[in-house]
Amino acid sequence: MKMTIRQTVFKEKLAVVSILISIIALALMVPKILILTDQVEIAADQVEIMRQSLERKVNLVMTVVPSYAVTVYNNPNGTVELRNSTLLLSRTENFTFTLYASNIGDTFAHILFYSVVINCNSYTQTEIPLRDTIVLKPYDSISFEYLFTPLTIPTDTLLNVSDLSLTFTLGSAETSVCKIINAQFFDNT
């Protein structure tokens, strides 16, 4: 079957229109492709940040002063000897502990709280003196003071117990550390 000139021209125009529609559709897709490319680049950057943060670690170290009693002995030969012993606390007088914390890791630590749990036989008391978020930079340190008030312990427990333990816990979003201090009451009032 032979095509007429009119049919041939129509077919050629149809092909040109089809090509123009494809070009227009492609031109409309380019911004979307660029946006998708930007989103992929942003996602790749976020994945890289997450990967690096997983490689970095928070390393909190903590000490509480005093943790034990130190007795100094003078030896007959002129030397001095230090001996550690159990910390002695009064049943009636307040006592201040200082908690020192350092972030020796290579990323930020987000300290959320520190708590003290006092345990005397079957009696337990929990105090949370800090409930704020503190950001601790790598290789940065901070200190907190805790006032131990023995008169907050019920009288019947306080008078009938000699040993107690204080557990200091420092909690961050990334990790937590604790220090247990064993102590004794030295007066029997």
CA distance 86 to 163: 10
Task: Give the residue-averaged pLDDT of 154-160.
Answer: 88
> Any idea what DSSP says for residue 105?
S
The closest alpha carbon to 183, from 166, 158, 159, 160, belongs to: 166
CA distance 96 to 89: 10
Name which residue leads in pLDDT, 6 or 179. Answer: 179
Cis peptide before 66 (omega within 30 of 0): yes
The closest alpha carbon to 168, from 131, 128, 123, belongs to: 128
- AA letter at 115: S
Q: 11 pLDDT band (50/70/90 cuts)?
A: confident
User: How is residue 140 written in tokens?
Assistant: 């940065």
Q: Which of 43-52, 133-142, 180-189 is modeled with the greatest confidence? A: 133-142
- Output the pLDDT for position 45: 73
The closest alpha carbon to 109, from 176, 179, 180, belongs to: 176
CA distance 116 to 126: 6
Name which residue leads in pLDDT, 15 or 120. Answer: 120
